[in-house]
Amino acid sequence: MGISQRFAYVLLLLSCWSAIEAEYVKYKDPKRPLNVRLDDLLSRMTLHEKLAQMAQIERKNATADVLEKYSIGSVLSEGGSTPAPQASAKAWVDMINEMQKAALSSRLGIPIIYGIDAVHGHNTVYNATIFPHNIGLGATRDPALVKKIGAATALEVRATGIPYTFAPCIAVCRDPRWGRCYESYSEDPTLVELMTEIIPGLQGDLPQNSLKGVPYVAGRTKVAACAKHYVGDGGTHLGINENNTITNFHGLLSVHMPPYYHAIIKGVSTVMVSYSSWNGKKMHANHYLLTDFLKNKLRFRFIISDYHGIDRITTPPGVNYTYSLQDAVLAGIDMIMIPYDDPQFFESFIELVDKKVIPISRIDDAVRRILRVKFSMGLFENPFGDYSLADEIGKQEHREIAREAVRKSLVLLKNGKTQGEPLLPLPKKAKKILVAGTHADNLGYQCGGWTIQWQGLSGNNLTKGTTLLEAVKQTVDPSIEVVYSENPDDNFLFSNEFSYAIVAVGEQPYAETMGDSRNLTIPEPGPSIINGVCSHVKCAVVLISGRPVVIEPYVEKMDALVAAWLPGTEGRGMTDVLFGDYGFMGKLPRTWFKSVDQLPMNVGDAHYDPLYPFGFGLTTEPVKANN
């Protein structure tokens, strides 16, 4: 080899080495320390790319062009937003992987974080396991069970390629007139604290050597969680959704804040801000509670807005978007659910930066917090959904956990009209059984709001599950005649000789403001069905509702009364207990009032005079041979 050839060879080696060096970037190297990766990535980002990380847009707006062009940081499914009706796990993963490919094709290749409201199982997805809503889980008093529910939910969420859920709701509901009360585990902050054990279920247990309070997600079968809605959302005046929580700082700290301490210690990845206000100050604009207290005092990292949350800083909402954006970002919100107005978001944000209203330091701080979670949960190394998890959706093992949760959540409020003559457990062998009521054969009513659609649905074709009627037929002796009549009249009741009746009535599905109620009455024909059936037949009433409702006028006519809350898809959990395979063990997570005139009324109040007190619940023993 001549001198010129050797020189050319050396040049070639140097150029190849330079190319390798040019391709190597610290932020893409998982062997580098987290802060090194963060510093490196932030140093490379333009203002627009930083602002894009602070944006979360709706799935329908997240086209490949938008994700690549704007380098959007996050995407969500709003309530009921799916790639197609009854979409399969594969369809979900296909959609999200295409979004990730677009995001990774942007200049810096920062993956998106996709979020969804998996609030009682993966409730937007067809065939997913639907667990009891939080109020029912509060009745179980079983944090270990709730942790198992979190783990099962995480697997089903990951099966659709989604790494982030807007759950759990750790509100302390102080007034059942609030339309979100079923999303709260209890009126008692201590019980809500216990139920934060769902967080290590969703995210995985913190490693033994981990610092407390550091966001953590243990791999590809776990999801980032979100504690919501910070803070005081369950204490609004008159229970009106998004209203004003009127209490002093001590009241806020002693009632509404304690669950957040536990959520943060357990490494929850994000906290979502409440629409509500505290003493007239909107939480989305509350610098003291978001930055001074949550971030600086509690050392929490990543705060996300609620859906259109910043718009609602003003009245009417959205009347001054630029002002709202300024207030929210300066208050301490890091990621903003836009969810559709990305051009306005960027235009207003750049204007605020140009005018030096929002300093670059606040933007860098927000982006660093967001990227920290993305790095911590392994999104840079594993951005794509895993098709091999498809069978996790609605699998039998998860349904058995849900069934266990149902039977442990049932609260027995009355058992027998006469002392020593209980009706429950019911015999599996009887001449003829009547099953009646609006909620006896309606899976949508059984699941409640936040199921497939935001407001929930009526009927049995929304997803897969077992209604109470089906569960009764599967539980009793095959020779028994089970007669179903939703609203039987007197002639029907007189002309049949029923051994006993199971009557299921309650609330129709709702979510958020649509569920606010001033009177908390059971909708007709529920009361008429109770009065009619229980006047002629021994009756066990199963009340399916998201909260305590007015029942005092009807209790005397019932032989037994069971609060079943919103049990979800596994109706066999109800019959497991009704027929004595398992005993009743649930305890009221909420005070059951006599009259709405007493509200708000919570355990410990001076005027406490309930129909059934907090913690009440009759028990029964399992029947080994139920004939």
- CATH among 3.40.50.150, 3.40.50.620, 3.40.50.11540, 3.20.20.300 for 26-386: 3.20.20.300
CATH superfamily of 410-612: Glycoside hydrolase family 3 C-terminal domain (3.40.50.1700)
Q: How far is CA 158 from CA 94, 191, 234, in A?
A: 13, 28, 30
Backbone angles phi, psi at 451, to 5 degrees: -135, 110
pLDDT of residue 70: 87
Number of H helices, E strands in the chain: 22, 17
Q: What is the pLDDT of residues 276-318, one digit of tens each?
A: 999 999 999 999 999 999 999 999 999 999 999 999 999 999 9
pLDDT of residue 211: 85
Rounded Cα distance, 384 and 622, in Å: 47
pLDDT of residue 284: 98
pLDDT of residue 10: 40
pLDDT of residue 543: 99
What is the percentage of the chain residues whose pLDDT exceeds 90? 93
pLDDT of residue 195: 98
Q: Taking residues 338-343, what's their average pLDDT?
A: 91
SS3 427: coil
Neighbour count for residue 623 (Cβ, 10 Å): 17
* pTM listed for this prediction: 0.96
Q: What is the pLDDT of residues 453-476, one digit of tens each?
A: 999 999 999 999 999 999 999 999
Neighbour count for residue 613 (Cβ, 10 Å): 12
Structural contact between residues 619 and 586, judged by C-beta atoms closer than 8 angstroms: no
pLDDT of residue 187: 99
The catalytic residue positions are 306, 512
Of the CA atoms within 13 Å of residue 31, those in its CB half-sphere come to 2
Q: What is the pLDDT of residues 408-438, one digit of tens each?
A: 999 999 999 998 899 999 999 999 999 999 9
Q: Assign 626 a pLDDT band (cuts: 50, 70, 90).
A: low
Q: Which helix (H) or strand (E) holds 612?
A: none
Q: Assign 342 a pLDDT band (cuts: 50, 70, 90).
A: confident
pLDDT of residue 50: 98
Q: Which residue spans of the chain are classified as CATH 3.40.50.1700?
A: 410-612
DSSP, residue by residue, 131-184? PPPHHHHHHHT-HHHHHHHHHHHHHHHHTTT--EE---B--B---TTSTTGGGS
Neighbour count for residue 478 (Cβ, 10 Å): 6
Q: Which residue spans of the chain are classified as CATH 3.20.20.300?
A: 26-386
- Indicate if the pLDDT at residue 69 is higher than 90: no
Average per-residue pLDDT for the chain: 95
Q: How far is CA 238 from CA 245, 512, 545, 602, in A?
A: 9, 14, 19, 13
Q: What is the pLDDT of residues 521-574, one digit of tens each?
A: 999 999 999 999 999 999 999 999 999 999 999 999 999 999 999 999 999 999
Q: What is the pLDDT of residues 110-144, one digit of tens each?
A: 999 999 999 999 999 999 999 999 999 999 999 99
- Indicate if the pLDDT at residue 17 is higher than 70: no
Q: Is 413 exposed, middle or buried (0-12, 13-18, 19+ CB in 10 A)?
A: buried
